[in-house]
Amino acid sequence: MAAGMFMPEALACPGWEYAGKLYKELKSRDTLSFEAWKLFLEAFPDQSELSHNFRLEIHEVITCWPSIVKSISTLDTNALTNFCANGLTLDLAKLISLTAIPTLTALIHTNPSQRRTHPLTGNAIRDWCRAVREKNAFPNLKLLYLCSIPDHGSPDITVLGHLSNFPALALVGIERAGSHSSIKASGTCGQWQRTTANREHKLNKTMRDTQKTIAEKTKALYTYACRVRESQTADTSGASEVEQPVLTLSCYAPRSTRDASTATWFIRRHLAPGEPQKRALIVLDHQNDGARGTKKHKIRQAKQCDVGILLDSFGNPPASDLKDYYALQS
């Protein structure tokens, strides 16, 4: 189908009953191009049957990254966008470029080798999250899976503090080679709570399911993220979002570079009134009785944790409500 030969109005005129047949025919023949898909979306912005997964070769993503991001950033805001970066090296520049996509709802990154070759450092995470805050980006991103943080890099408590800049984020998976999280199962960290051991097992099982495509895994995890957000914020928009057209872009890469390992999962919890969220400033006075006299070193913690975390998490509200929610979901 030559997309340039059609206008959205021409597709919309006969209605979905007829245009839908053409759409299904293109899908069945595997000839549906991205430009053609965009035309259908413009003509029928609320048609959930337009949900589609475009699989991209890894070399295509690397060479065409700017044009891919630009194309997605201009999509109708009624559509949702899931990006499954299998085997792709996501450096700081690429992560920041994704902030131009307001429809991004899920970002899944599976490439364990990046932890060794191009790890996502603490400074990179901080700068990315700062860019998100300054640009008011990712208004719809609810699901995030990171695999490139080195095993002995920034601790989860620091990463989660930075990720609090993401306004809609509800579910985060942090994959490392081993279990290094200082946050125990069901433990809290500012706005975040680690899932129960049972729930974490189920989420990791979903990621490792070899019978499902990455698009299917992402859909399952995103649906759960919407439920978490609804339970915490009384936001009922998630139910309707699942029915919106969803564009999924998934990179195809060798299995060794895209297999998921074990992740630590966190959900965003509702902060009780009066709970602090500000960045902490710690001042350490080091007394030196030598020839140079007294020295004072002011050390600013870049971790965006609340004061309760730095003081051993005193005063955190009980997690009984969340446990009841998990029981219903089991």
Q: Tens-digit pLDDT profile for the chain (330 aa)?
A: 444 455 777 888 888 988 999 999 999 998 999 989 999 998 998 898 999 999 998 888 999 999 999 999 988 777 899 999 988 999 999 999 999 999 999 999 988 888 888 899 999 999 999 999 999 999 999 999 999 888 888 899 999 999 999 999 999 999 987 766 788 888 888 899 999 999 999 999 999 898 888 889 999 999 999 999 887 665 555 554 557 899 999 987 776 555 667 899 999 986 555 555 544 332 333 333 344 443 333 333 333 344 333 333 333 434 444 444 444 444
pLDDT at 111: 87
Range of the structural domain that residue 312 is part of: 281-329
Q: Is the same domain home to 28 and 150?
A: no
Q: Which residues pair with 266 in a beta bridge?
A: 172, 194
Residue 158 lies in a domain: yes
User: What does residue 214 show for φ and ψ, rounded to 5 degrees?
Assistant: -65, -30
Residue 185 lies in a domain: yes
Give the end of a domain, one of 268, 300, 321: 268
Distance CA 32, CA 30 (A): 6
Helix 16-28 × helix 34-43 angle, to 10°: 160
Q: Is the same domain home to 310 and 233?
A: no
Residue 32 lies in a domain: yes
Instruction: Report the number of distinct structural domains present in the chain.
Output: 3
Q: Is the same domain home to 167 and 298?
A: no
Residue 316 lies in a domain: yes
Q: Is the same domain home to 141 and 237?
A: yes
Q: Is the same domain home to 139 and 17?
A: no
Q: Is the same domain home to 183 and 285?
A: no
Q: Is the same domain home to 145 and 212?
A: yes
Residue 99 lies in a domain: yes
- Alpha helices (H) along 118-245: 122-135, 156-163, 197-208, 214-233, 237-241
Q: Is the same domain home to 1 and 107?
A: no
Residue 276 lies in a domain: no
Residue 2 lies in a domain: yes
Contacts of range 97-102, beta carbons closer than 8 Å, 24 or more positions apart: 97/65, 97/66, 97/69, 98/69, 99/131, 99/132, 99/135, 99/137, 99/138, 100/69, 100/70, 100/73, 100/137, 101/69, 101/72, 101/73, 102/73, 102/77, 102/137, 102/138, 102/139, 102/140
Q: Is the same domain home to 243 and 305?
A: no
User: What does residue 149 show for φ and ψ, rounded to 5 degrees?
Assistant: -80, 125
Give the end of a domain, one of 246, 268, 290: 268
Q: Is the same domain home to 21 and 96?
A: no
Residue 225 lies in a domain: yes
